[in-house]
Chains A and B, each alone.
Chain A
Amino acid sequence: MKDVLHLIGMYTKTTAKSWFQYRVDAVLKSLAVFLREATGIIVIWFTLLKFDDLNGWNIYEMLFLFSLLFLTYGIMIIFFTGLRDFGSTVRSGNFDRFILRPRGLLFQIIFVNSDWFAALGHGGLGITLFLISAGKVGIRWNMYNAVYYIFTVAGGVLIQGAVFLFLATLNIYLLQTNSLKGLIYWNMRKFAGYPISIFHKAIQFFMIYVMPFAFVNYFPAQYLLRKDDMSDYPEIFMYLTPAVGIVMYLIAYLFWRFSIRFYKSSGN
């Protein structure tokens, strides 16, 4: 165990060193990620200056909805950068080096690389949005909903981590899954900050059962905010986020364990 912690420490140190090699670039990079991710927020802010509310959600409630999305991604990417970039690791043949080392494969993939700029950019944005909105949406914070909030963030992290793990595993069979990931993850994520009740039923189905962003932010926000449009969905959905996260992660992990036996090197 001590050995493992030491290894994690070493990996983190080398990652940080390589990222901060160009210092000006490092600061600019965090700022760029922050701004790029804020694009959707700026758009909704300008839009709601004009329209006041979107299906009953005012600007602060919308910001609260967005904050969960960014906070969970910021935490998730500290651990799952290696899975996000797993496709190129396989294609370049670097994965073969991992296999030869005397440590667990998933352990290495998770700790060898962390995208700290994405973590700072997304996480910073999430915290900023939370601080702006949390006091203005009428939540009475107490022990219970604070605990609920922590569990739900953990669940949201697991859900997105499971999707990354699942898509990374697909690389073993397909070698190239970026466009698939672009379509089902990045593309949906652009709109995951909106209350899903405004969308067509097909898109709602996709966001609840296929790429369940609804459990990352919409249903947890509903638990805390209790907007009218929750009546369209079963009440139990508001409590499922941690369970969905654990189940999805387990399935993705089993899929990974099953698939890794079929790994064939891409050559080189």
Chain B
Amino acid sequence: MRLSPYIAYAKKCFLGRSAYRFDHIMDIISTCMQFFIFCEIYKALYGGSSEIDGITMPMITTNFVLAMGLNAVFYPDDYFLPNKIWDGSIATELLRPISFKGRMIAENLGNALFSLIFHFLPVLIIAVLTVGVSAPASAVMFLLFLLSAALGFGVLWAISFAVQMTAFWLINIWSLITIKNVFVNVLSGSMIPLWFMPEWMRGVLDFTPFSSIYFTPVQIYLGQLSYGEIALKCAVQLVWIAVIYLVGDILWKKGQQKLVVQGG
């Protein structure tokens, strides 16, 4: 398999994003604003106490900046396949001598790289200069954080991939994607730090893929997990990627036989 066409797709996406500068600056401002507002909300909730259940304010702000930053980077295009089915261009896409899934990954990675450099980093710098963010627990933990964050991206991508495949049957899946995003937003820890979820809810979360998207990397960054726990949590991330991807792949194979192109 030659990699060069995929790199070209990734590059195309990366450069395509840089064309909309005004929109992009607005995105950065909006992420910063959300971060500040969440910090204010938690300041009010803490009401002056330095820690609650062993969780300090710096841990909260670090959780938010990392989760929101990663959230900006991990933005798989949920409509990659649905749009192509909707307008019929899927027919020509399938004829091309390259893997459709490979192209999908390449474009998502190109986008993610752009957001990492021009969205996450500026937001992180602003957050460090204003509210303050904890340093990683150690250099090793930082490297493990990067690894786990990459796996978290894998989990999120696999979920998006599997949901998109239902477009072969349902055609218009805006609702399904929106509902998926509600689950990701609430349960992954980007809007409420998962430490503060009630006990029973954390039990439920252990059986879902959501907490391994942002929360596992954040916990590693803060040094809350031992090496044994890190190995276990990363293994859990890998299992989720494999399981969800396989489900998506079965749908992908069935879907191609079922595909109906409406007009062109």
Number of chain A residues whose Cβ lies closer than 8 Å to a Cβ of chain B: 33
B192, A35: Cβ atoms closer than 8 Å: no
Q: By the criterion CB–CB under 8 Å, are B191 and A39 in contact?
A: yes
- A35, A178, A180: the one contacting B182 at CB < 8 Å is A35
> B2-41: which have CB < 8 Å to A?
22-23, 26-27, 29-30, 33-34, 36-37, 40-41
Verify A179–B37 contact, CB threshold 8 A.
Answer: no
- A183 to B41, Cβ gap below 8 A? no
Query: Closest approach, in angstroms, between the C-beta of B191 and any C-beta of chain A?
Result: 5
- A199 on interface, CB distance cutoff 8 Å: yes
Binds A, one of B132-140, B145-153, B171-179, B224-232: B171-179
Complex contacts, A31 vs chain B, CB 8 Å? 175, 179
- Chain A residues closer than 8 Å to B36, beta-carbon distance: 200, 203
Q: Which residues of B contact A183 (CB under 8 A)?
A: 26, 29-30, 33
B37 and A54 form a contact (CB under 8 A): no
Contacts of B172 in A (CB 8 A): 22, 25
Closest-by-CB residue of B relative to A28 is B175
A residues near B174, Cβ cutoff 8 Å: 29, 32
Q: Contact between A35 and B37 (Cβ–Cβ < 8 Å)? A: no
The CA-CA distance from A59 to B174 in the complex, in Å, is 31
Provide the bound-state CA to CA distance between A43 and B178, in Å.
17
Decide if B263 is an interface residue (CB 8 Å cutoff): no
Given contacts A25-B175, A32-B174, A179-B23, contact A43 B192 (CB under 8 A): yes
**CA distance in complex: A199, B44 (Å):** 9
Complex alpha-carbon distance, A42 and B23, angstroms: 29
**A55 near B: Cβ within 8 Å?**
yes
B198 touches A (CB below 8 Å): yes
In the complex, A173 has a CB within 8 A of chain B: no
Q: Which B residues between 61 and 114 are near A, CB-CB below 8 angstroms? A: none
> In the bound complex, what is the Cα–Cα distance between A127 and B45 (angstroms)?
27
Question: Does chain B have a CB within 8 A of A194?
Answer: yes
Q: Output the least CB separation between A243 and chain B (Å).
A: 28
Query: Could you tell me which residues of chain A, from 136 to 165, have a CB within 8 Å of some CB in chain B?
Result: none
Contacts of B22 in A (CB 8 A): 179
A180 to B198, CA, bound (A): 37
Q: How far is the CA of A42 from the CA of B179 in the complex (A)?
A: 14
Known: A43-B186, A50-B198. A187 touches B34 (CB 8 A): yes
Instruction: Using A32-B174, A179-B23, A187-B34 as known contacts, say yes or no to A47 and B40 having CB atoms under 8 A apart.
Output: no
A191 at the interface (CB under 8 A from B): yes
Please, what's the 1-or-0 string for A191-208, where 1 marks a CB less than 8 Å from any CB in chain B? 100100011100100000
A49-B45 in contact given A35-B179, A39-B191 (Cβ < 8 Å): no
For B182, the chain A residues whose CB sits under 8 A away are 35-36, 38-39
Contact A198 B40 (CB under 8 A): yes
Residues of B within 8 A of A28 (CB): 175-176
| Bound CA–CA A251/B201 (angstroms) | 49
Q: How far is A101 from B187 in the complex, measured between Cα atoms in Å?
A: 50
How far is the CB of B151 from the nearest CB of chain A, in Å?
25
List chain A residues, Cβ under 8 A from B256.
Answer: none
| Residue B197 lies at the interface, judged by CB distance under 8 Å to chain A | yes
Given A46-B198, A54-B44, A194-B41, are A39 and B175 also a contact pair (CB < 8 Å)? no
7 intermolecular pairs with C-beta atoms under 8 Å apart? A32-B175, A35-B178, A39-B182, A46-B186, A50-B198, A183-B33, A203-B40
